[in-house]
Amino acid sequence: MSDRVETSPSSAQPSVEDAVYQARLTAEKGIYEDCVNVHNLPEIFHYWSDRYVRPKLEAFGFSSPNGLFKKYLEQQCERRKDYASRFVSIGSGNCDLEIEVALHLRARGHADFVIDCVDLNAAMLERGRLAAAKDGVADYIRFVQEDFNKWRPAHEYDAVIANQALHHVLNLEGLFAQIKSSLKPNGLFVISDIVGRNGHQRWPEALGIVHEFWRKLPPSYRLNRQLDRFEELYEVWDCSIESFEGIRSQDILPLLLEHFHFGLFIAHSNVIDPFVDRSFGHNFDATAPWDRAFIDQVHQRDEKEIVAGCIKPTHMLAVVGNNPAIQTLCHEPLTPEFCLRSPNLVGQSAAHPKLERPEGAYEWHTWPHSAQRELEIACQRLANSERRLKQLEKQLKEQAARAEQLNKEFEERITWALGLDKELQDRTTWALRLDKELEERTAWASQLNQEVAQLNRELDQVAWVRRLNRRLRRLYRNLIKPLLFR
């Protein structure tokens, strides 16, 4: 199956909105162009998720988000044992999940299925193509390069899957309408995604609690590893400013409720996110008692506030479809409707009805080690920064030397190009003279040709006279002379 790329007519004049969209599209491609490990999470995340999230999932027959997809796609294969099953993955990226699912289905005895992998990034799809071939499941996977904001289904599907992809979608209404129309009877839409505030920001009612726990962290835990900056107080950053990251996260759940019926809904976590994600999670030691205890405290507070309805979950695993008769499975009271955030939900924490920014940035007595140890960590980081600075200075000097060499080569090439230009001009002049001489010689040859033709005509006339003369002689000899001398 050949990759399909949707393009707009080149003759149309792009609008400002089109220009902004194309800029986001370019940024999105660049972010993931060389991203081989998309889900590289800190060890503290795995400690937290194994202890607290995993039991929530196991209550419904799987232990991880990948297990969710395996379970429900296998279920669809079981339903259609006598027919080929077709699935599509929206925003498949490197196709790690799809390959894992294909291997699982084959191991469970299912061989008549195809998974269409749809993604914008050609580099990621190519990595998926190579990985699928390496793992021996290339026959089960098709690769479609397309912008899923404009995606049009090529088939009807037994299931559509979206793994951490919907928060990259700008045109959610259009995508959900296409998915809804493409599902076969009893088809499923299986989802794992982030449904918090746009751009992965914190809503005010959750941000206050994050700041409350932030004050308990030593400075060494407040280093943003992704942005390489120290954040004395956790800073809210809109990730959707330049790319599609979290572009409409907060609209996912409301629009799913509008377009589909929920068969399964598992929602969890909010405040814990900044402490276990890629930016700050690497600052924690998953084997250290204080670090574990801190994460436990944040999670327990998170759960309390969510169940009370004071904050709303930011993560969701769901199975939806078009059949309203199916019962919705969930952990009460966290139904899809309960987890919708009301615009009036601001600053109403269960533990603190009026959340205000606390005075001071640190609670010194909560630290897992002394101020001296924290100073040692800071000095070590300064030393590491100094080493990095020296490396950067060395690289800068090397790049400057290289730039100087390139500049010298550039000047030499300019001189060569100027000489080449003069030589080209000389050769052009010579060519023009040659062309003029050629024209003159052509005219002379034409005149000569005419003269030769005239001579040929005259020669033909002479030859005719000679032939006539010979005939007259024969006539005289054979006819007239005998008569005269008879």
Hey, which bits of 417-486 come out as E strands? none
The pLDDT value recorded for residue 421 is: 87
CB 295, CB 53: distance < 8 Å: no
DSSP code, position 86 = E
End-to-end Cα spacing for the chain: 108
- Determine the distance from the C-alpha atom of residue 469 to the mean position of all C-alpha atoms in its chain, rounded to a whole number: 99
16-368 carries CATH number 3.40.50.150: yes
Q: Give which of 310, 311, 281, 279 is closest to 295, Cα–Cα.
A: 281
On the question of a cis peptide bond just before residue 333, with omega within 30 degrees of 0, the verdict is yes
User: How do 329-330 and 141-145 pair as beta strands?
Assistant: unpaired
Tell me the one-letter amino acid at 179: I
Q: Which residue has the tokens 């995604």?
A: 193
The pLDDT value recorded for residue 346 is: 59
Residue 416 tokens, joined: 């060569």
Write the CA distances from 220 to 282, 327, 457, integer angstroms: 11, 48, 109
CB 259, CB 319: distance < 8 Å: no
- Determine the distance from the C-alpha atom of residue 446 to the mean position of all C-alpha atoms in its chain, rounded to a whole number: 69
- d(C-alpha 211, C-alpha 361), whole Å: 9
Walking along the chain (486 residues) 10 residues at a time, the average pLDDT comes out as 37 62 68 60 96 98 97 95 93 95 97 95 93 96 93 95 96 97 96 96 95 91 88 88 89 97 98 96 94 97 97 98 95 97 65 48 70 67 68 83 86 87 89 89 87 85 83 78 71
Residue 27: Cβ within 10 Å count: 14
Q: What is the DSSP string of 150-197?
A: S---SS-EEEEEEES-GGG-S-HHHHHHHHHHHEEEEEEEEEEEE-SS
Size (the chain), residues: 486
The domain limits of the chain are 16-368
- d(C-alpha 122, C-alpha 144), whole Å: 9
The pLDDT value recorded for residue 296 is: 98
3-class DSSP state of 382: helix
Rg value, the chain, Cα: 40
- d(C-alpha 197, C-alpha 458), whole Å: 104
User: How do 329-330 and 261-268 pair as beta strands?
Assistant: parallel
Own/partner pairs for 14-21, CB < 8 Å, 24+ apart? 21/170
DSSP code, position 217 = S
